[in-house]
Amino acid sequence: MNISGILVVVPPARIEGATRALNALPGVEVHHTEPTTGRIVVVQEAETVDQEVAALSRIKALSGVMLAEMVYHVFDETPPEWDAIPADMAAS
């Protein structure tokens, strides 16, 4: 499991829409927004590195996104044990 931290920059006026759009992407979580500068900190989960790169391109392709850069990255090896919990709950 790859977890990456991505900095996304959008025009400040569009930050709300962008946040919504980002949250709608699978495996993507917005952790912080800075309404004055339009900077958004996003955490993304992906199974493989390829998926991770593809996901980053998807973010870049979102309307209004001026910049999307991977800033931080970890590889989490622990397999998920709690299959009983629905996947979307884990994001709670």
Partner 1 sequence: MCRTHPSEPSAFITSGDSPIMTTRRSFIQKSIQGAAVATSGGMLWSYLAIQNARAEPSALRPPGALPDADFNALCIKCGRCVVACPYNTLTLAALADRAPLGTPYFEPRQIPCYLCHDIPCKAACPTGALSPTLDEVMDSRMGLAFIDTEHCLSWQGLRCEICYRVCPLRDQAIRVETRRRELSKHAMLLPMVLSEGCTGCGICENACPTEIAAIKVLPAELIQGKIGDHFRMGWTQAGGATSDPEPGETWKGQLDSAKDQGHAPGLDYLNAPEY
Partner 2 sequence: MELSRRNFLKSGVAAATAMAVGIPISRIASVAAAETEQDWRWDKGVCRFCGVGCGIMIATQDGKIVATKGDPDAPVNRGLNCVKGYFNGKILYGKDRLTQPLMRMTDGRFDKKGKFAPVTWDQAFDEMAIQFKKAYEEKGPTGIGVIGSGQWLIQEGYAMTKLMKAGFRSNNIDPNARNCMASAVAAFMQVFGIDEPPGNYDDIEYTDTVVAWGANMAEAHPVLWQRVIDRRLGHADMKVVNITTLRNMTSEGSDLEIIIKPNTDTALLNYLAREIIHRDEVNQAFVDAHCVFCAGPTDIGYGMRATDKFAFEAEKDIQAREIEVTLTRDEAIGLGLDPEQVHTIKQANAATADRHWLVGFEDFKTGVEPYTLDFVAELAKGDAEESLDAFKAKLVRLADLYADPKRKMVSFWTMGFNQHVRGTWVNEQIYSVHLLLGKIAEPGNSPFSLTGQPSACGTAREVGTFSHRLPADMVVNIAKHRDITEQTWKLPPKTLNPKPGSHITKIMRDLEDGSMSWVWVQVNNPFQHVANANHWLKAARENDNFIVVSDAYPSISAKVADLILPVAMIFEKWGGYGNAERRTQLWREQVPPPGEARSDLWQILEFSKRITLAEVWKDQAIPGLKDEGFEEGKLPDVMASAQEMGYQPEMTLYEALFETPENKAFAWPDPVAKGHDNHTVKHLGVDWFVEKALFEEYAAFGRGHHHDLAPFDVYYQDDVRGLRWPVVDGKETPWRFNAKYDPYVKNGEIEFYGGAMKELVTGNLTGPTTEEKTKFPGKAKIFFRPYAAPVESPDGNYDLWLCTGRLLEHWHTGTMTRRVPELHRAMPAAVLDMNEKDAEERGLKRQDTVWIESRRGKIKAVIETTGRNRPPRGYSFMAFFDESVFVNKLCIDATCPISKEEDFKKTAIKIYKV
Give me the residues that bind partner 1 (CB under 8 A), please: 19-20, 23, 30-33, 92
Handedness of CA 10, 16, 18, 19 (dihedral sign): positive
Structure-block tokens of residue 32: 């912080």
- Mark 44-63 with x for binding to partner 2 (rule: CB under 8 A) and - for no binding: -x------------------
32/73 with CB nearer partner 1 = 32
Quote the distance between the C-alpha of residue 21 and its chain's center: 10
Binding partner of residue 19 among partner 1, partner 2, none, CB cut-off 5 to 8 Å per kind: partner 1
- Print the binding letters for residues 24-43 with partner 2: x by CB under 8 A, - otherwise: -----x-xx-x----x-xxx
Q: How far apart are CA 92 and CA 17, in angstroms?
A: 21
The site for partner 2, by CB under 8 A, has a size of 30
Q: Nearest 5°: CA angle at 8, between 66 and 32?
A: 145
